Amino acid sequence: MAVRVDLLISLDGFATTTDRTPDNPFGSDWSRLVAAYVGTRTFRERVLGDTSGEGTTGVDDRYARDYFEGVGAEIMGAGMFGLHDYPNDPNWRGWWGDEPPFRCPVFVLTHQSRPPLTMAGGTRFSFISAAPIDALAQATAVANGKDVRIGGGPTVVRDYLKAGLVDRLHVAIAPILLGRGVRLWDDLRGLEAGYAARSEVAESGTIHLTFSR
């Protein structure tokens, strides 16, 4: 069992985008940040339900397949679930659709008290107010010996990295400069100590870097 992170970041280290507008709710930076990932066959099958067999099958797809394998529970911030967008709507079920791609217990870190949500496909969202290490203990307890993923966003990931709780950090670096947003790498001086680093470049130009211990 390992604690894993997989994150998409820009060359200048940003894991969030800043150009969302009411007319363009995801923004165009987000499309560019995730383009290589959403172009993979695995993403199309697993997230979009597209069984046509279209999508890339190279290095990016290998990481996409790995992303969906062996995870028994996930922890994410309130923003990644979507609580910040509809903070006062008790009927809001997050922006991951009726059948979210996680297919495991997901712990959403929030100070809001909300009943759990059981979704199609095996995803069950629980909303908990807990320190990183305590949330990890809860996730580990239900992961059936599989990995626990710290899903995001970058602030939550950084909390886990700083606490020394992450065994494997994979970042897919898009060769674009966003210039603003939340940086993954802030205040992580010396993080590489204790990890082995490995990188490879995908056909798309995405740089996949993995710190493992």
| Binding of a copy of itself by 197 (CB under 8 A) | yes
Q: How far apart are CA 80 and CA 119, in angstroms?
A: 16
How many whole angstroms separate alpha carbon 109 and alpha carbon 150? 11
In the stretch 6-45, what mask flags binding to a copy of itself with x, by CB under 8 A? -----xxx--------------------------------
- Contact call for residue 163 and a copy of itself (CB under 8 A): no
Site string for a copy of itself, 103-142 (x = CB under 8 A): ----------------------------------------
What is the CA angle 199-34-135, rounded to 5? 80
Cα 140 from Cα 146, distance rounded (Å): 8
Instruction: Please give the Cα distance from 181 to 195 (Å, whole number).
Output: 26
180 scored as a contact of a copy of itself (CB under 8 A): yes
Residues that bind a copy of itself (CB under 8 A): 11-13, 175-180, 183, 185-192, 197-201, 205, 207, 209, 211
